[in-house]
Structure 1
């Protein structure tokens, strides 16, 4: 029996060996994962058709308006790279299917955001390959996976990670299922990594260090274009200001909040815990919850040891107003729980920009406890300017998942007052005489 050799990055060989329900690869640019999975999908299509099987290879992406947004061209090119394989496929402008074999296997292409309900009616899916899978929702996965009804049907997943909270990350990287074969694949794992990409990689390393890890190393995305605090966070890391930071037991603990509600679609409620020690701001902890009552936030404070005797709560100006579900303000709620409460006055028009500028100014003096502030730092790195793409102008901060943590952090920076120099009895600044 004749055999064929397929060129793959060596790290992918175990992924395609043996049985599996899910095979996949995640990582940065230039790893060769998309081309490799495209090629192997054609190999599998050939094998099934040669064995007399008929069915389809479904290629999905979360967003696909036209075939130009699909994996069609990638699969065409991967088939053409293998002369022995190309003769077994009929490749048209908008289709790919096997030919000259006992069975008939064809490709279909689908955008999951618009067509996920119609996937239930798809006939005999032998393989579903979802490329650029990072934004695929949990709902889409829940509807797609049960359509793989053949005993040897498989799901293949390839993506560049962005967020730890994504449905794709949670389902496949945290699943721990023994029938899931997934690996991380980056540029250094690709023996055919092209010289032009190496030049681009070097440029990104020099010119975009805050984005380099996500683009090339498969790291989670910590910043986006237009992010307000990306460079400041990178500098804090370089300076060693993100590490182990302990509370000073003699100093006041301050809890800075951005308030949310208790409705199903409420904004997030965020708390940053910090201490002002000299000219340093030591950020000790971060908390975020959605749709929870005040009692849940109070329970978190107490569970972390931030008791009323040593912790003061700071609220934005709307902390004085009644909560949308319960007719009570957060100010009165925390006071009744025994906390001292300060409410920062309304900064009026341009308040968001004032918080951003205050944060930028103070960032060189800010230290973070790494283990307990990671989620908040992710939000700070993501917080960015909303753009009018047609006119190329900024429209102010984007109101998304990151804005609540950024607003609470900005409140802390607005509330900060630099310590004044001590004076003697005559009112003169004291100074040390050497």
Structure 2
């Protein structure tokens, strides 16, 4: 059965020739994931077997290629040919099965036991470890089987970047019907095909994505080459500029009444370990697309109460009912205790703190509003006492954000609470794990594009 699919010109070679390894990489908007997903659907009509869609970490099926494949199947009106199940997709004509897994979550035996994999697609491969690849590659052993890999470059130390950096790619371009040139780079040998492509090589690059690109250039020029041109990420030093943050005057009655009329929620980033780490709690509300911060607390054990007791008291006094809380390792016990008092939504963090904060900075600039009263210590006040008030707590939080420096191996300076990462880390968690409510409609689609820019094409 011939399926007509629209893919970018550089990827037509992926369909026409056999190679053991095919790799696509580049910046945001290069059309890599979209083209590959369309080609996988077309390949499912050629023969049976398995198309394995994998990634290093897959928190749920929603974090895989599954939603993209379904959207393309519906767009092409191919639903009649597919049996779409909760965790897999089956082509009814060929019995070709799409399955989805996180390599790190699986046992070696589970991966090795997957039979007749025709194509293994590794997405978000910038996070792929050498150990995972060495387990996965020999397990893809069907006749003429291929491994397809896609990623947005991150750090020069990443396994996949080190793997491809030794190849010299040739400059190429293709031309559309209006004689416009679209550049890309390519390497090919008997075993390998590598395609490097950015937004300027994507014939289908949309106006919405272009708005995101221009916003990045304006708000985060240091991140522009990394996000949109496929360059590796470099340390930047201090990330947050006071002049770029947004503030609201919570003293004005019209603002205060509006903000107080919305439900207030909390995000908790627990700290268990070093003495100079705090559990950070942020109270916020969302009005349409924007996040308004209300209060912030840095909490840890003291002579009067445990950390969880202090958190519960802090939130209960503010009538908080819904809580977003990190639940890695020891934090799971805290979540169990919080669930007795609040509706808790757990999240799991796998990335380095500093990296997450840098990645969240764009949306923090764009979507987060800070109370104006957090900006400075009032003249004539008792500073130590004022720092215990709502505005004083906010002042400490804001100083942590402005002092954050990703070029330092350890930002925490013992005894200096303003140098800690607690508040910036919790704020990045709010951005990444509370973001669904911000991007759940078409008007906010450009923000979802931004998340894709951060996490991969």
Q: Give the TM-score normalised by structure 2.
A: 0.48
What's the TM-score once normalised by structure 1's chain length? 0.50
